[in-house]
Amino acid sequence: MSYAKGTDVPVSRSRDEIERTLRRYGAEAFGYAGDGTTAMVEFTTLDRRVRLFIPMPEGRLTAVQYDREVRRRWRVLLLTVKAKLEAIESGISTFDDEFLAHLVLPTGRTVGEWLLPQLDRGAGVPELLPGRA
């Protein structure tokens, strides 16, 4: 079951809700971009810059199906942001724990963009219990 399947909420409204939600938790300096294959939301807070990516649908979709799926993905991002911020506010997690992969490094890449290729090569994956077979 897909969350927000069939939603009619326009992307602009979801984007505005994301921004309002983030502002309530102290975020500022928002930016949005897209290149047709990926959309991006960026904001700053707590001396951190965060960049969230939304992959756009691929495959054989009609224009109506494509638009519906794009709207759904923005609703999912809103739900994700709300859940992360609520976990932080409730003391279940920290900002850095929730957004670590999305933090922007001084190079302009996110932690995830930098780290994941290294993990894929097998670097930096320690044994859970060293010395145990």
Domain chopping of the chain, boundaries: 11-120
> What does the pLDDT average to over 55-73?
93
Q: Do residues 29 and 6 lie in contact, with contact meaning Cβ atoms separated by under 8 Å?
A: no
> What does the pLDDT average to over 5-11?
91
Question: What is the chain's mean pLDDT, rounded?
Answer: 90
> What does the pLDDT average to over 21-47?
93
Pairwise CA distance, residues 13 & 97, whole Å: 28
Work out the percent of the chain whose per-residue pLDDT is above 90.
76
> What does the pLDDT average to over 64-88?
95
* DSSP H stretches of helix in the chain: 11-24, 63-89, 95-99, 111-120
Distance of CA 121 to the CA centre of its chain: 24
Q: Percentage helix, strand, coil, to 5, in the chain?
A: 45, 20, 35
Q: How high is the pLDDT of residue 128?
A: 63
Say what the pTM is.
0.85
